Amino acid sequence: MSKHQRYSGVAMLFHWVIAGLVILNWRLAENAEHAAARAEKIAIFNDHKAVGITILALTIGRLAWRLSHPVPPLPSGYANWERILARSTHVIFYVLLIGLPIGGWLANSLGGQQIEMFGLFTIGALPVGSNEGLSEEIFDLHKTGGTIMIYLVGLHVLGGLKHTFFDKDGGIFRMLPFGKVGPRSSL
């Protein structure tokens, strides 16, 4: 098996850490929405915001890594629609991984809020002035984007499982340091 069929160890680390943080952040948002006490809701959303900024920083790092290191080609057995779906999904992931944290930061800034990074430091509000109405509209878009992200994660997982267990091309093992990746990939 050629190591060029797999993503690099650094790309794998970025992928799995960001994936874990996305799932954590989704759960934090859900827990905050269902919190009984206002103080509890605020505390949970503070963690949600800090995790979001962490995702943003890691995604920028991941993009820098991806631009400077070759990505393994898709397996040659992929149908054209699978190639288009795979590439489109990745683009949408990057748009959401960058857009959701920036949108959340912008909405907080418009509401006059800073972002506390786990009690370690504070990220100031963007210099956008105050506009509660716009802040709420952006938060609504942020929530919709988060829902799209979770559906996209589900689609991504289903695709990986399909390629691994039905197509038997080892699709999921392209992003893991173990397991058998299928036949040689092509561009």
CA torsion sign, 93 to 158 to 66 to 72?
A: negative
pLDDT score recorded for residue 184: 44
pLDDT score recorded for residue 186: 41
Beta bridge partners of 185: 75
Residues of the chain with pLDDT under 70: 1-3, 183-187
Assigned fold of 3-175:
Fumarate Reductase Cytochrome B subunit (1.20.950)
pLDDT score recorded for residue 169: 83
Closest residue by Cα to residue 151 from 93, 85, 64: 93
Please tell me the pTM assigned to this model: 0.92
Task: Give the span between the Cα atoms of 156 and 80, in whole angstroms.
Answer: 17
Q: Which amino acid makes up residue 5? A: Q
Task: Give the span between the Cα atoms of 53 and 33, in whole angstroms.
Answer: 19
Parse the chain into domains and list their residue ranges. 3-175
